[in-house]
Every structure is written in structure tokens, then in C-alpha cells.
Chains A and B, each alone.
Chain A
């Protein structure tokens, strides 16, 4: 009885998955005309958002210390709030930058035999890891401020660069003339 029930439940889950896929694929039924495989390496090259220097500056503890020494607590609080907004914006841009890169990578990988299954899974797992650390960083920035979230932000940077490096390494092996 229990096993039959589990199988029936599995069947229901399968139907739910099918329904979700149909809804999603209906919106994807037309190919994005602006895409070309050649864009993928371009996107990897264009990753200003993943700059360590910028992250280092936005989440700089020195800036906070300097402001704390110079001004009153009210202005300090305003400064922290302002930085929080910038930090969240930066995080959002980093994420959308990597999302774009990830999307272009997959669109290139589907046409060209770029990697084997294990490499593909490694890249996908690193990307999932990036999403997770990104979410943690966002909660930390929102909850305890940008300066306390410095370490987790660097973790985001490390993971983002790892995804970019892994996908870049795979795509670098492609002949540019074959990218279409």
C-alpha cells in the first residue's frame, strides 16, 4: 500500500512538473534573435561587475572607520544606509551579470560539444553555489549592514569568478569561427 501510494505520488509530481514545463516553455517558444554564440566569450570578457577592487571599495571597513571618526552618529547611520543601498545594487548587478554569462554559456554549450558531463555538472553546481552565497550575502547586507557582510561578499566574488573561469576555460577551447 505504501509503495503504491509513493508511486502514485510520484505520478502526481511528474504531472505537476510537466505542467510547469509547459507553462515555461510556451514563453520560450521563440528563439532569441539577438543571440549569437560569439556573444558568450564577449560576455566573459566583459565582466567589470566581478572586479575585486570595486567590491573592496564598496564594502571597505576603512571608509566606515573614517566616517565614524569625522561625523556624528546620525550621519554615520545615513552613510551606512547609503552604502547598504549601493551594496544591494552592486550585488544585484553582479548576479544579473553572471546570470547573463551563464545563459550565454548554456546557449553556446547546447550547440557545440564543449564539455563532458562531469565538467558540465561542475559548472552547474558552482553556479548553484553562487546563487546560494548571493542570497546569503543579500540577507546579511540587509540585516547587519554592508561592512559586516564583507566576508560573504568576497565569497560571492570568488564563486562568480570561478563560474566565469570554468565556463571561460571551456569556451576558450572553441574556434571563434565555429561560434555561430
Chain B
């Protein structure tokens, strides 16, 4: 009953978020994110229908539909990269190299594992596969976090909310998928409530940060003749200072 109530609240909040974005006219700004919300909402309603009418099928449907949100989740990460780095070509070039690095590591890891154990992919459980895909998502988010920190790229409230909420979903999924086989049998009730509650927190974060549109701060783009002159003057000054220092070092080694 509690799980159903949580699910109902989550769905109501997701719906209000989507409606709010449509009314506010910023649905298209974060199109993939809202597509994700729609897919989560649809899947949730579908699961609820299966749960009430065909409970035997629920587990199968649950794990199959988890891949839908996971796949759209990659789209969200792509959208985060696109919006965050749209005004920063230098950082974007660095991001391409980083993503390529993550991709190479993932492919190399999969290749090595399948070489050592050819039945690995078939033998992997759905949960294990999901966990692996979540790990890749986590690394991609870490890369964007590192880039924004390193280049001091300001992130707006909307985007910060998307990263925070989706990051929480990824992190908690990673923890749950890892400890589930061990904890679910020990404390089944806790396990039952913990994951929906965590997702509820994510939805609350999205509600708090995406209630209205707040664009990403843009870098200053101004250049004046005065600055041009200052630049030239400073460069000359620098050259003279360098020459003077070299000269002084000759006389006072």
C-alpha cells in the first residue's frame, strides 16, 4: 500500500512537471529530459496495470522496462553535455576526448572479459547488465562534473537540478543493484520501500529546480579597443621586464 502511494505521488509530480514545462514554454529546452519523464510516467502506469491485473508477470515486465528508462537516460546525459558546453568550444573539445576515453575503456573492459570468459555476456543477469550500464552513466556524469569544475563553468539551476536528480537515480541504482541480492532477503521490507523513496527524492529535486525556466549563465563576450591597447601595452611591458631581468642576472648572478 505504501509503495503504491509513493508511486502515485511520483506519477502526480512527474505529470505536474511535464505540464509545468509545457505551460512555461521550456519543454523543448530540455526535450530529452522531458521525454524521459514521459517515458517513466508511461512505464509506471503500464507497470501498475500489470501489477493489478497480472501480478505474475510484474517481475519480468519490471526488469524489461527498466532498460527503457536506462536507454533514455543516456540521452539525458547527452543533453546535459550539449547544453552545459554549448558556449564553451574549448571545454567541448576536451569533453569529446574524455568521452572517447571512457568509451575505449568500456569497450576494452567488455572485450577483455569476454575473451577470458566467452559465456560472460549470456551468463550475466539482467541486474548485472543494468549495473554495468549504470556504472558507465556514472563515469559520464563524473566527466561532466570534472569538466565544469576544472573550467569553472557555471551551471544554471535547471541543469543543476537535472544532474542532481538523475545523478541520485544513478548512484542509488548502483548501490541497490549491488546490495540487492544480499540485503533483499535479510530486510525485504526495507528494500521494498527504499528504492521508490529515493526516486521520490529525485522527483522532489526536479520539482524544486525545474518549476520555472532558468537558462544557463553565458560567458561574457565583450572586447573593446581599450582592452586591445592594454593587451599590447602589457605585452610590451612584459618583454621589457623579461629583458631587464635577464640583464640584471648578468650583472648580479
Does A29 belong to the interface (CB within 8 Å)? yes
Q: Are B175 and A31 in contact (CB under 8 A)?
A: no
Does A8 belong to the interface (CB within 8 Å)? yes
Within 8 A of A (CB), among B119-142: 131, 135, 138, 141-142
A168 CA to B164 CA in the complex, in Å? 36
A124 CA to B12 CA in the complex, in Å? 47
Q: Are A111 and B231 in contact (CB under 8 A)?
A: no
Within 8 A of A (CB), among B226-253: 227-228, 230-232, 234-235, 237-238, 241, 245, 248-249, 252
Q: Give A41's nearest chain B residue, CB to CB.
A: B231
Known contacts A14-B138, A14-B167, A106-B152: does B219 contact A179 (CB below 8 Å)? no
Within the complex, which residue of A18, A24, A35, A51 is in contact with B168, where a contact is CB–CB below 8 Å?
A18
Known contacts A11-B175, A15-B172, A24-B149: does B89 contact A112 (CB below 8 Å)? yes
Within 8 A of B (CB), among A1-47: 1, 4-5, 7-8, 10-12, 14-15, 17-18, 21-22, 24-26, 28-33, 35-36, 38, 41-42, 44-46
A113 CA to B93 CA in the complex, in Å? 7
Q: Are A31 and B154 in contact (CB under 8 A)?
A: yes
Does A151 belong to the interface (CB within 8 Å)? no
Q: Are A110 and B88 in contact (CB under 8 A)?
A: yes
- Give the chain B neighbours of A10 by CB distance below 8 A: 135, 138, 174
Q: Give A48's nearest chain B residue, CB to CB.
A: B241
Does B153 belong to the interface (CB within 8 Å)? yes
Within the complex, which residue of A8, A29, A177 is in contact with B157, where a contact is CB–CB below 8 Å?
A29
Q: Are B235 and A41 in contact (CB under 8 A)?
A: yes
Q: Give A57's nearest chain B residue, CB to CB.
A: B252
- Give the chain B neighbours of A113 by CB distance below 8 A: 89-90, 93
Does A180 belong to the interface (CB within 8 Å)? yes
Stretch from B34-42, B55-63, B176-184, B189-197 contacting the other chain = B176-184
Q: Give B161's nearest chain A residue, CB to CB.
A: A22
Does A162 belong to the interface (CB within 8 Å)? no
Q: Are A36 and B227 in contact (CB under 8 A)?
A: yes
Interface residues on B, range: 35 or more
Q: Are B223 and A18 in contact (CB under 8 A)?
A: no
Smallest distance from the beta carbon of B181 to chain A beta carbons, Å?
7
Interface residues on A, range: 35 or more
Does B24 belong to the interface (CB within 8 Å)? no
A117 CA to B91 CA in the complex, in Å? 10
Within 8 A of A (CB), among B152-211: 152-157, 160, 163-164, 167-168, 170-175, 177-179, 181-182
Chain B interface residues toward A at CB < 8 A: 87-91, 93-94, 97-98, 131, 135, 138, 141-142, 145, 148-157, 160, 163-164, 167-168, 170-175, 177-179, 181-182, 217-223, 227-228, 230-232, 234-235, 237-238, 241, 245, 248-249, 252
A-B contacts, 9 of them at CB < 8 A, read A28-B155, A30-B217, A31-B154, A33-B220, A41-B231, A108-B90, A111-B87, A117-B98, A176-B228
Q: Which 3 A-B pairs have the closest CB atoms?
A: A11-B174, A45-B238, A110-B151
